[in-house]
């Protein structure tokens, strides 16, 4: 549990450093682009969930344990 928390902390800190409001233009509006990307992603996920709820369940179960090894 510690390793994912460390990874999340690094990601959050890096994103914060990237979108600080005190940066000179044009970097001072990067936060708006990040917010837009997150909003579009949330809307797209909601649309997929409404139209095909089973698709998200299948996506959640697709992991490395389901990948077939190369036949040699």
Query: Number of structural domains, the chain?
Result: 1
Determine, yes or no, domain membership for 26: yes
Contacts of 31 (CB under 8 A, 6+ apart): 19, 21
How big is the chain by its Cα radius of gyration, in Å? 18
Query: Over 90: is that where the pLDDT of 22 sits?
Result: no
Domain that holds residue 46: 19-53
pTM for this entry: 0.56
Q: Which residue has the higher pLDDT, 34 or 65?
A: 34
- Tell me: the pLDDT tens digits for 46-68? 998 899 888 877 776 666 665 56
Instruction: For tokens 């890096």, name the residue.
Output: 14
């Amino acid at each position: 549990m510690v390793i994912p928390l460390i990874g999340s902390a690094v990601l959050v800190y890096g994103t914060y450093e990237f979108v600080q409001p005190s940066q000179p233009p044009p970097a001072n509006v990067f936060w708006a682009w990040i917010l837009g990307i997150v909003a579009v992603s949330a809307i797209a996920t909601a649309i997929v969930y409404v139209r095909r709820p089973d698709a998200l369940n299948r996506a959640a179960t697709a992991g490395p344990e389901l990948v077939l090894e190369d036949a040699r």
